[in-house]
Homo-oligomer: A and B are copies of this chain.
Amino acid sequence: MADAEPRKESASCPMDFILRMLMGPWTTYILYNLKSHGPQRFGELKRRVAGISAKMLTERLRTLEGAGLLRRDYEATIPPKVTYSLTKRGHELDGVLNSLAEVGLRWETEDAAARSQRAAELKAAE
């Protein structure tokens, strides 16, 4: 049973790295917000995502920063001002997110249509 090769097939899947990033619980909300509302401060982002804890947000932002998807601008004013914005690389995901949203929207529409059709059939069957 024991597989000789540890799992080198991950190399054959370049999207794996990206998905591992997008996979985080709140990641898409964050990217979506930064994409649609532009650069934002920590508290602004936290308020907008609504439900995320500061710890999670920090951790996600650090991960995304480390991946080069967003930039962190720290101004050591009093009170401190930290602004997050998408990098060029971060914006390259816009296309992916868009096609994802497109498919999601299509499914939503299809499901709604199927639901209303079933409802109509149910009504006709009475």
Contacts and interface: CB of A to CB of B under 8 A. Distances in A.
A125 interface: no
- Interface residues of A toward B: which range? 35 or more
A7, A14, A95, A105 — most chain B CB neighbours (10 Å): A14
Interface stretch (A22-30, A56-64, A77-85): A22-30
A99 B99 contact: yes
Nearest to A52: B7
A76 interface: no
Copies of this subunit: 2
B14 A104 contact: yes
A124 interface: no
B50 A15 contact: no
A100 interface: yes
Interface in A65-112: 89, 92-93, 95-97, 99-101, 103-108
Interface of A: 3, 5-7, 9, 13-19, 22-23, 25, 28-29, 32, 48-51, 89, 92-93, 95-97, 99-101, 103-108
Given A13-B101, A19-B100, 14 more contacts: A9-B29, A9-B49, A9-B50, A15-B28, A15-B100, A15-B101, A16-B104, A19-B28, A23-B23, A92-B106, A93-B103, A95-B103, A96-B103, A99-B99
